[in-house]
Chain A
Amino acid sequence: MSDVYIAGIDMLKFGRFPEKSVPDLGAEAALLALKDAGLTIQDMEALYCGNLVQAGAMVGQRILQQIGQTGIPVTNSANACATGATAFRGGWMSIKAGVYDAVLIVGVEQLGKAGLLGGGGGGGGIPKEGLLGSQLMPAVFAEAGMEHTRKYGTTFEQFAQISVKNHEHSTKNPKSMYQKETPLEMVMNAEMIAYPNTKLMCSVNVDGAAAAVLVSEKKAREIGMGRAVKVSASVLTSDPFTERDLVMPDINTCTRQAAAKAYEMAGLGAEDLDLVELHDCFATAEVLHYENLGLCGDGEAGKLIDERQTWHGGRIPVNVSGGLLSKGHPLGATGVANMYEISTHLRGEAGARQVEGAKVGMTHVIGLGSACGVHILEKTA
């Protein structure tokens, strides 16, 4: 089976673009990725498109209607917050299988100021939100964080530090929605949404798009390996049965299983990673994933925060892009945008936020319901 390489990748600066459509945003990102690869839509043999909110609206085809209707197969995918990673993995599998040598991946979303997400309830009768607890995302991820507090005594302040870090990181990322520092007191004193998550500890609903061109080894050699990034592992899992999962979504087990498979596939371990972009949809979630991804032992996440090991310049920088908390979280685009971040560091093109000497990076997303995508990317040259 051929190795798979990222030949081109780019993203739009995340923000709010009410004057544009979902296909507008996707087409713009697709053209940037093609340009980055030095290829055209005529070179693409398939399109894998990820979008959640307009899942039934043939977004991929509508993108081709803007940038070139070449008649290639289009697969539209939706997988909650793992939507972008799922589209990416579809393309990766097609090259692994030897079906294609060059495919286009687009992740795109338009959320605007969507407000609180989740809590739809359903099932008839009376609304259950606020009567039978909360199904809103801030509360669901708060409860997941409180499990860590219950086990290890993790504090509100430690959770808040995640947000301080990611906002600080974003000041050096021109493609982040926000580029503003938020000191600890500001984070902790922000409006409480669902304890222990304050408003500044919730990811930002934004519009955005990111795209990538994936190629086989043969195609990569043909166009030049210079800036190519190797996809060393691509893994997707769903939530296996665990005791409380159907009442309290278990975001840990599917992440642990995905990480273990990814390390095995890449022949690497957590100690080989130079940077990680993980799914900080809420500050509480990032803490859990330090342990889930093996960046530290169980119960050591608090120590990792206290020692600033995941800050830029620390032992294992996490979310140097600013993460979902500051860069923004356009659901379907998120999983491709974090590949852009890692690729940019591996190519040595990350400017002021460059993680020096980065050779290996990991991306992680989780969609509640649940779907977890983990990828490991490696520098080639």
Chain B
Amino acid sequence: MFARMHAPAPLPVEPTRKVSIMAEEAAAQGPRPVVSYLKLPDGGDPYLEGQKCGGCGAIFLGERGTCSSCGASDRLEPTRLSNQGELYVYSIVHRSFPGIEVPYVSAIVDLDGGGTVKGNLIDVEPEPEKIRMGMPVEVVYKVAPRKDAEGNEYMTYYFKPRS
């Protein structure tokens, strides 16, 4: 994690080729998942998928062959994670790389039934007094405000307070 320490180039916020055949094709296909553990089933609602170890019950994000908790191989099965959970901890980020809008709330959320996920907490003022650790949140899915160099859209997830 720390090895990739060089600041990357400013983010390509705008697609480099705004109109192209590739972009039109991409639009026809719909948005792609921002990460491999965000699933977009045909005709169904998006959801986050964990990999649960049949040996020890540990839950991971992203596919893998072996459990790093107990070492069991080939016992990991996909499991649909809950869209509800609670805010574990957060930080309010005021300085980031060029091109990234600040401030934003970086949040760690424990999902009901297991699984911990990191993401942006939205629909809350970025002030410590307005954010309570332990508060209930829900996972919501939206098209990301960034496109890749080919103009493809991405579906991402956010957390928002749940009343």
Contacts and interface: CB of A to CB of B under 8 A. Distances in A.
A binds B: yes
B146 A121 contact: no
A143 B69 contact: no
B26 interface: no
B73 interface: no
Of A118, A128, A142, A247, chain B has the most CB atoms within 10 Å of the CB of A247
Given A130-B100, A143-B106, A369 B94 contact: no
- The binding surface of chain A is classed by DSSP as loop
Interface string B86-130: 001111111111001110101110100000111110000000100
A117 B91 CA distance: 16
A120 B5 contact: yes
Contacts of B148: 125-126
B133 A150 contact: yes
A241 B60 CA distance: 11
A80 B146 CA distance: 31
B119 A369 contact: no
B120 A120 contact: no
A116 B95 contact: yes
Contacts of A118: 1-2, 4-5
B34 A125 contact: yes
Nearest to B102: A130
A195 B147 contact: no
B120 to A, nearest CB: 6
A313 interface: no
Interface string A29-66: 00000000000000000000000110100000000000
Given A125-B34, A130-B104, A135-B1, A246 B61 contact: yes
A116 B102 CA distance: 14
B89 A143 contact: yes
A250 B102 CA distance: 26
Contacts of A117: 2, 5
Interface of B: 1-8, 11, 32, 34-35, 58, 60-61, 68-69, 88-97, 100-102, 104, 106-108, 110, 116-120, 128, 133-134, 144, 146-148, 154, 156-157
Interface of A: 52-53, 55, 78, 80-81, 114-123, 125-139, 142-144, 146-147, 149-150, 156, 191-197, 241, 243-244, 246-249, 367-369
